[in-house]
Amino acid sequence: MTSPSRLPFYIAVLLLISAGISLAVWRHIELGIPWLTGEQRPVWMIEARVDFDGAGEPVVASLNIPEQPPGFRILTEQAASPGYGFSIIDKSGSRRAEWTKRDVSGPQTLYFKAQFIPDPGAQPAQPSQQPKTQKLFWEEPQATAVREILSQAEARSSTPESMTRELIRLMQPDTRVQNTTLLVSEENYLPLLVNMLNHSGIPARTADGLKLEDARRRQQLIPFLQIYNGERWLTLNPKTAAQGVPEDILLWRQGSESLLDVVGGGNSEISFSMLRQTIPALQLAAMQSDGKGLGFLSFYELPIEEQSMFRMLLLLPLGALVVAFMRIVIGIRTSGTFMPVLIAVAFVQTTLVPGLIAFLSVVSIGLAMRGYLSSLNLLLVSRISALIILVIFITAGLSVFGYQMGFNTGMTVTFFPMVIIAWTIERMSILWEEEGGQEVLVQGSGSLFVAICAYLLMSAPLAGHLTFNFPELHFAILGLILLMGQYTGYKLTELKRFTPMKAYD
């Protein structure tokens, strides 16, 4: 008889393990689920406050709100404004928060809060169609001055970007020539720049940015220039011509003409305040998971009750791994193959020391009672059934007794699986009669040792975190267990057992 080649098996196991690990890595990158517990991520909470005076008329207040600001992602949005109808409206490339109320009089305050996560990769969506430029009619002598400056800048540049940079440079106070002095004043600098760029055929617009500083109130908006280079909108500092959005700037408004419109109210005013918060990276990932490509692979969408059940279930493979390792590679004898895992699961709920005390007392009282049962000469099934009932009596007794004595730990006995304990007692008892107390001690302590090892692994916060948030890692565990099923080497205990063979070497 020839054995089939093991190669396909090893390849399959390797695929299983690498699939598990790479899926986990992918999800870590894609969804930002952290490898470790307790990892914190900064989040900026920005509050826009709108004040205006109502004049006894119906009011529509419309505030431009960010849509995909470069370098940030929006986590949450909420509005606080009692008595107002509120909705977020997406139209013609800009998002606006709209408050409405029938009858408004006196000073009014509206709040809009949003949380932003820094994400260097986030970029605004591409415009679906080429933005148009609007030519303005200039009167003389500005028309000539504009032409002059534009032709100067054009001569020194080749692309929309370089054209814009040159133009900005020409319009700075230190380089100003007569032509520019005629045009530029402190108030009209940015609109003029936009108009001139549009005149030269480069689509341009303004944007407003917020400098992010922790616990800052009444933060001012900083104006930015945006030009369209034929592919996407580029953001430039209108004074220094530096390209790109600095890391600490959040573009609140881009692509929309007005920041705030209030119809039916006067003296409208907007102010921004901000706070740097940290939230657990895991929570962040969970909040973002819905709607994303890989989000469906996680348990976050399930009801909380099912989630906590899966939290427990997903720990079981770790226990099985420990049992497989202990039995196959170390060679520890246990009573009942997976009894240690079930005991370990109970320990996770009771914590170790109270669990151990409860388990040992139930089993030893049960063994004493089983001694009497064995002399009754009962059939196996009724003996086990009687034992199950006795085990329930024992646990109830221990719970009540523990409670009366003021130990809440007495109650934890109920976490142990009754039927498993009954079978354990039965097996131990038979073992005692057939092989003597020593074998009971060996197998009993072996089982407890494996149970404690499994408990220590399963109760580690990291283990719970990884198994629940990266369920695909179980593929790797499965692969390891399959590999162990092929282990044909010596067990650790066999190295001890076969020691007398030294004499024949």
Partner 1 sequence: MDWISPRTLKRLGMLNMNQRNVNYIARYNERSSYPLVDNKLKTKLVVAEYGVKTPKLLQVVKQQHEISHFREMAEGLAGFAIKPAKGSGGKGITVITGRDGDFFVKASGARVGAPVLERHLTNILAGLYSLAGTPDVAIVENLVESDPSLAKYSHQGVPDIRIVVFQGYPVMAMLRLATTASDGKANLHQGAVGVGLDIGSGKSLNAVQFNRPITLHPDTGLALENIDINDWEEMLEMASRCYEATGLGYMGVDLVVDANEGPLLLELNARPGLAIQMANGRGLLPRLHAVESLKRPHFTPRERANYAMETFASL
Burial class (CB in 10 A: 0-12, 13-18, 19+), 128: exposed
Asked if 336 is part of the footprint of partner 1 (rule: CB under 8 A), the reply reads: no
Asked if 498 is part of the footprint of partner 1 (rule: CB under 8 A), the reply reads: yes
Asked if 487 is part of the footprint of partner 1 (rule: CB under 8 A), the reply reads: yes
Q: What is the sign, positive or negative, of the torsion defined by CA atoms of 442, 445, 446, 447?
A: positive
Which residues, including other chains, have CB under 8 Å from residue 168's CB and lie 6 or more apart? 193, 225, 236, 238, 239, 240, 241
Return the number of the residue (10 or 487) whose C-beta is nearest partner 1: 487
Asked if 92 is part of the footprint of partner 1 (rule: CB under 8 A), the reply reads: no
User: Please, which residues bridge with residue 210 across strands?
Assistant: 221, 250
Return the number of the residue (125 or 501) whose C-beta is nearest partner 1: 501
> Is the peptide bond prior to 141 cis by the omega test (within 30 degrees of 0)?
yes
Integer Cα distance of 260 and 265 in angstroms: 12
Asked if 488 is part of the footprint of partner 1 (rule: CB under 8 A), the reply reads: yes
Fill in the per-residue mask, 159 to 188: x = in contact with partner 1 (CB under 8 A), - = not in contact.
------------------------------
Fill in the per-residue mask, 35 to 54: x = in contact with partner 1 (CB under 8 A), - = not in contact.
--------------------
> Which of 7, 155, 405, 503: binder of partner 1 (CB under 8 A)?
503
Asked if 430 is part of the footprint of partner 1 (rule: CB under 8 A), the reply reads: yes
Return the number of the residue (208 or 426) whose C-beta is nearest partner 1: 426
Binding to partner 1 (CB under 8 A) within 101-160 occurs at none
Which residues, including other chains, have CB under 8 Å from residue 208's CB and lie 6 or more apart? 221, 222, 223, 224, 251, 252, 253, 254, 259
> Which of 75, 328, 481, 483: binder of partner 1 (CB under 8 A)?
328
Asked if 304 is part of the footprint of partner 1 (rule: CB under 8 A), the reply reads: no
Integer Cα distance of 213 and 358 in angstroms: 55
Fill in the per-residue mask, 359 to 378: x = in contact with partner 1 (CB under 8 A), - = not in contact.
------------------x-
Q: Which two tokens stand for residue 315?
A: 């720990």
Answer for the pair 487, 480: CB distance below 8 angstroms, yes or no.
no
- H-helix or E-strand spanning residue 51: strand 40-65
Pairing of strands 85-91, 204-211: unpaired
What stretches of 229-295 adopt beta strand conformation (E)? 233-236, 249-254, 260-263, 265-280
Query: Minimum distance between the CB of residue 486 and partner 1, rounded to whole angstroms?
Result: 7
- H-helix or E-strand spanning residue 284: helix 281-289
Return the number of the residue (242 or 430) whose C-beta is nearest partner 1: 430
Stretch that binds partner 1, among 24-32, 44-52, 150-158, 492-500 (CB under 8 A): 492-500
Asked if 485 is part of the footprint of partner 1 (rule: CB under 8 A), the reply reads: yes
Stretch that binds partner 1, among 119-127, 205-213, 427-435, 467-475 (CB under 8 A): 427-435
Asked if 331 is part of the footprint of partner 1 (rule: CB under 8 A), the reply reads: yes
Binding-site ranges for partner 1 (CB under 8 A): 1, 3, 328, 331, 377, 379-381, 430, 434-435, 485-491, 494-505
